[in-house]
Chains A and B, each alone.
Chain A
């Protein structure tokens, strides 16, 4: 049972524009959400996170929005750069920021073209 879903396997965006990656979850026990970025032949690296007590968290060009009532979060990248081209995974945790059993989405391949 897929508790974290990323319904778009791929996204293509022009450099300088906004990239919006979406993620939905089903388990209301999730209280901490993370985005990871993965380049080919490398492991995922942490990008940004958000606690369920917030609805927005921003770090430079990256902003994550959380809509608890809709069980939906999104990652915004503004402006998008070619180096952002990677697979982005959404993950959810139920123990707050103490990471334990993470549930991952299937990932979205972002391609940023010049």
Chain B
């Protein structure tokens, strides 16, 4: 199956710093990638849809200035959590869409903000 690589798998940072998470589709081109967040015992919640070469579409309630998404190439999307705070601590996971009907997920990033 297709492979989506997500890095880092976990990160601990101080409050106020920024953290960048990368999502790469290794063996296919993905014009569309999705970013999700999952709090403990909750479901995966879509944060934003990232389209190559255009601005991301954010879900209601997700601050676009706080969660910067860049999809500069067909194989790479990045999520930057700016000025992270403890309430941003969560599990972040990306997925890349192939051919419209298949989604392949990264392994996720556990973010802990101290």
Contacts and interface: CB of A to CB of B under 8 A. Distances in A.
Interface stretch (A11-19, A59-67, A96-104): A96-104
Interface centre among B6, B44, B93, B101 (most CB of A within 10 A): B44
A101 B100 contact: no
A4 B43 contact: yes
Contacts of A2: 43
Nearest to B101: A97
Task: Classify chain B's interface size.
Answer: 20 to 34
A101 B108 CA distance: 18
A39 to B, nearest CB: 10
Contacts of A99: 97, 100-103
B107 A105 contact: no
Contacts of A45: 1, 105
B9 interface: yes
Nearest to B3: A43
Contact of A106 (B1, B43, B104): B43
Contacts, number: 53
9 contacts: A2-B43, A42-B107, A43-B106, A45-B1, A46-B102, A89-B44, A101-B46, A102-B44, A102-B46
Nearest to B57: A101
A100 to B, nearest CB: 7
Contacts of B95: 43
Contact of A98 (B1, B42, B101): B101
A43 to B, nearest CB: 3
Contacts of A9: 41
Given A45-B1, A99-B97, A100-B49, A106 B42 contact: yes
A44 B94 CA distance: 10
A106 B43 CA distance: 4
Given A41-B107, A43-B106, A104 B43 contact: yes
